[in-house]
Amino acid sequence: MAKVVTFGEVMLRLSTPGYLRFSQARQFDATFGGGEANVAVSLANYGVDAHFVTRLPKNDIADMCTAELKGLGVQLDGVVYGGERLGIYYLETGAVARGSKVVYDRAHSSIADIQPGMVDWRKVLAGADWFHWTGITPALSQGAADACLEAIKIANEMGVKVSCDLNYRKKLWQYGKTAAEVMPELVAGCDLILGNEEDAEKEFGIKPEGFDAEKTGGEIDQTAFVSVCRQLMQKFPRCKKVAITLRGSINANHNTWGGVLYDGKTLWQSRRYDITHIVDRVGGGDSFMGGLLYGLLAYDTDQQAIEFAAAASALKHTIIGDYNRVSVSEVEGLIKGGGSGRVSR
């Protein structure tokens, strides 16, 4: 069984019921989520030995979180404890012309106060096939960025492949450094990079010519992203493959979805999914990343890997919560032409 280690923040997710606005809500639905934890849950669902590393406080809310993750098959042997609080994010789900909103309450969370040396990375990464992180983690604090860099360098030394999801979050870079200043050194140690057009532009000034996500009308020319992939590989020579998620936004409930994978020579394109009734799009990119890592581990070709990633993420859009609670057989069924929604008896 392949072993994948992910590192980042997991938060308490408080979402308004249904499509209520924050101003209307009198209660919130509580669960947990966070980019790297979401990837670990996807991989555990697929039978991968998935390990999630973070820093948590010692309190009942953190215990509630770890119980949920363990129940979903995620290994937490690398978790370290300290600090005072678990971060929180509030979610208001949008509809039609009204987009979703996220409000963060994660300042001074336990992982924001993490420092290099707190995690025994050589022990955590022993026997691992992949180490995965996202651009969210180094956005939290200098300490989190330094701990992430420490992990990447040790993974490189140990021969563990490294993947990252660029995940630009403008609301998070508040500690005096910009993504453009911090991310290049981290990404330089990666073998696989995932992003979208905004991530590459905001962090590295790389963008597809003539593309505007707000004006796609759901139609995206996937080949327009070859230049983005090439520029990323030129900037980061260690990188062997670049994946781009392609979301065409018609409205908050109706998106088109797919992705491409570039290996330096060939652009592999997934099927495009027309998602007409989105249930929850939060975690869509994480489910794509989890599917891609599984695809690269389990299948013989990059085409199979990118198809699995896109199909897995299309299914995530039908599931409430951050986590993609689907199996390999369900994803493969969609790839083979399923998706009618008929009752399975």
- Distance, in Å, from the CA atom of 138 to the CA atom of 135, rounded to the nearest integer, reads 6
For 232-283, the pLDDT digits (tens) are 999 999 999 999 999 988 999 999 999 999 999 999 999 999 999 999 999 9
pTM: 0.94
CA dihedral over 226, 229, 235, 240, signed as positive or negative: negative
User: 132 with 36: CB under 8 angstroms?
Assistant: yes
SS3 127: coil
Residue 152, H or E segment:
helix 142-158
Gyration radius (Cα) of the chain, Å: 19
Mean pLDDT of residues grouped by 10 in the chain (345 residues)?
A: 96 96 96 97 98 98 98 98 96 93 94 97 98 97 98 98 95 93 97 90 81 57 81 96 92 93 95 93 95 98 98 96 97 84 52
Which architecture, in CATH terms, is 3-335? 3-Layer(aba) Sandwich (3.40)
CA torsion, ordered 268, 331, 317, 29, to nearest 10 deg: -140
- Tallying the residues shown for the chain, one arrives at 345
Residue 272 half-sphere exposure toward CB, CA atoms < 13 A: 12
Mean pLDDT, the chain, integer:
93
Q: In this predicted structure, what is the pLDDT of residue 344? A: 54
